[in-house]
Amino acid sequence: MEFKPENKIMLFPRINKIIIIVVAIAFVITGIRGYQLFKYIFEINVKTPGSIIISREANFNQVLDSLKKHDILINNKAFKWVSKRKKYSNSIKPGKYLFDSGMNTNQIVNMLRSGSQEPVVVTFNNIRNFKQLAAAISKYIEPDSLLLLQRLTDTTMYAKYGFTERTIPCMYIPNSYEFYWTTTPEQFTDRMAAEYKRFWTDDRKAKATAKGLTPEQVSTIASIVQEETVKNEEKPIVAGLYLNRLKKGMLLQADPTIKFALNDFTIRRVLNEYLLIDSPYNTYKYAGLPPGPINFPEISSIEAVLNAEKHNYMYMCAKEDFSGYHNFAVTLDGHNQNARKYQAALNKNKIWK
């Protein structure tokens, strides 16, 4: 075929059109991809608000699996893409992380990379010993109960906080506190020491001093009050009773201290043979306060001692209806009458110990 000049003129416009079309298509594709990547980074990517816990040993795939398990993300591909660009897999930090509605992928990855944890609310109450305390706390933070128990019972650190082996339970005031999931056992005890100091304000210290008590002694009485009654309205009455006995120089004769000495709080009937145990916590044998708390007294119990009711009661006995309330008496004769009613109820219900 003979190539003529006019054919040359026709060829180049066609080539120019193809180039323009190709460039236009590439531009459109680039724009679409750019918009897609923009959405990857800045579009809201939380489907189900919630939280996940990332362990110290977790890798990226485990983090992604956890997000999928809790159905947190709208677009997992976007999370993977942004994470790769920000090299999140090289800086995974343990902790508990909260994902709020409205967060975009960029914010999510930045939060995880920086380790911006969500505090966990740690609540403990109704605790009698360190084993129970360790078990309660381990539900909220990373260390297991064994590691926590080792720290809680490390007698070498008690003096650091100003306590002895007998008085150290005073430091752990039951309440709700915010911690990070990654809190170490050492950080936990340090925080509890700080919270103890914060709790004992000048006003509370003044009230304790007015009663001739130290904060530790207040907590010791409060621990007995707490074992005697679960009724908050009764606590100031019970506290006043024990303060009356202390003031008179009488033996406290508090049944809960016998249970503590025997390490058996399931006892419902304190028998005479139990009263023979030789323990500094036996308030039927030794005058004054026991050497420390018999549990971890709650704020309501401590406040009951600091604001004890003024009355003349010297004796108390559980009510015979097993309501949890008590009969109070000024005289021994009155107390014996109440005691006989209660003992009769125990016998009727075949409660022998």
pLDDT at 34: 54
The series of mean pLDDT values per 10 residues for the chain, 353 residues long, is 52 61 54 58 92 95 97 95 94 96 95 95 96 97 97 96 97 97 97 98 98 98 96 97 97 96 91 95 97 98 98 94 92 93 87 72
pLDDT at 18: 65
pLDDT at 155: 96
pLDDT at 10: 55
Domain boundary (60, 85, 114) is at 114
Strands (E) located in the chain: 50-54, 95-99, 120-124, 175-179, 315-318, 326-329
Residues 89 and 125 in one domain: no
Rounded to two decimals, what is the model's pTM?
Answer: 0.84
22 domain-assigned:
no
Domain boundary (60, 93, 114) is at 114
Domain boundary (114, 146, 169) is at 114
Q: Are 68 and 90 in contact (CB under 8 A)?
A: no
Q: Domain range spanning residue 109?
A: 50-114
pLDDT at 350: 78
Residues 110 and 150 in one domain: no
26 domain-assigned:
no
Helix (H, G, I), strand (E, B) or coil at 326: strand
pLDDT at 269: 84
CA distance linking residue 208 with residue 215, whole number of Å: 6
pLDDT at 324: 87
34 domain-assigned:
no
321 domain-assigned:
yes
Residues 280 and 173 in one domain: no
pLDDT at 66: 97
- How many structural domains are present in the chain? 3
